[in-house]
Amino acid sequence: MKYFDLTEAEMARLGAIHTAREIWNQPQVWDCTYKKFIDQKDEIESFRNKVLKQCNKIILTGAGTSAYIGYSLEGTFQRYTGITTISIPTTHLVTHPGDYLNKCLSTLVISFARSGNSPESVAALRLVDKMCKNVFHLVITCDEEGKLARYQSPNPKYTIVLPPESNDKSLAMTSSYTSMTLTGLLFARIKKDNDALARQVQHLRRFGKTLIHEKAGLLKDISKLRFNRAVFMGSGPLFGTSTESSLKLQELTDGNIVCKSDSYLGFRHGPKAVIDEQTIVLFLFSNKQSVQRYEKDFVRDMQKGKNPMRLIGVSESPVADIELDTEICFSTSPTGIDEDFLSIAAVLPAQILGMFKSIELELKPDNPSVTGAISRVVEGVVIYDEETSNQ
The predicted-structure confidence for 70-116, as pLDDT tens digits, reads as follows 999 999 999 999 999 999 999 999 999 999 999 889 999 999 999 98
The pLDDT of residue 31 is 98
Domain positions in the chain are 2-192, 208-361
The pLDDT of residue 162 is 98
The pLDDT of residue 376 is 67
- pTM exceeding the 0.85 threshold for the entire prediction: yes
**Could you tell me what percent of the chain has a pLDDT over 90?**
87
Say which DSSP state 166 is in. Answer: G
The pLDDT of residue 388 is 45
The pLDDT of residue 67 is 95
Lowest mean pLDDT among 69-73, 138-142, 264-268: 264-268
The pLDDT of residue 375 is 62
Q: Flag whether pLDDT at 330 surpasses 90.
A: yes
Q: Which CATH architecture has domain 2-192?
A: 3-Layer(aba) Sandwich (3.40)
Q: For all residues of the chain together, what is the average pLDDT?
A: 94
The pLDDT of residue 389 is 40
For residue 172, the SS3 value is coil
The pLDDT of residue 373 is 67
The CATH number assigned to the domain with range 208-361 reads 3.40.50.10490
The pLDDT of residue 194 is 80
Q: Flag whether pLDDT at 390 surpasses 50.
A: no
Instruction: Tell me the DSSP string of 111-159.
Output: EEESSS-SHHHHHHHHHHHHH-SSEEEEEEES-TTSHHHH---SS-EEE
Q: Flag whether pLDDT at 302 surpasses 50.
A: yes
The pLDDT of residue 79 is 96
* pLDDT tens-digit series, residues 205-229: 999 999 999 999 999 999 999 999 9
Q: Flag whether pLDDT at 248 surpasses 90.
A: yes
Q: Do domains 2-192 and 208-361 have the same CATH topology?
A: yes
Which residues is 7 bridged to in the sheet? 2
* pLDDT tens-digit series, residues 10-54: 999 999 999 999 999 999 999 999 999 999 999 999 999 999 999
The pLDDT of residue 7 is 95
Instruction: Tell me the DSSP string of 68-121.
Output: HHHHHHHHHHHHHH-S-EEE--HHHHHH-GGGT--TTS-EEEEEEESSS-SHHH
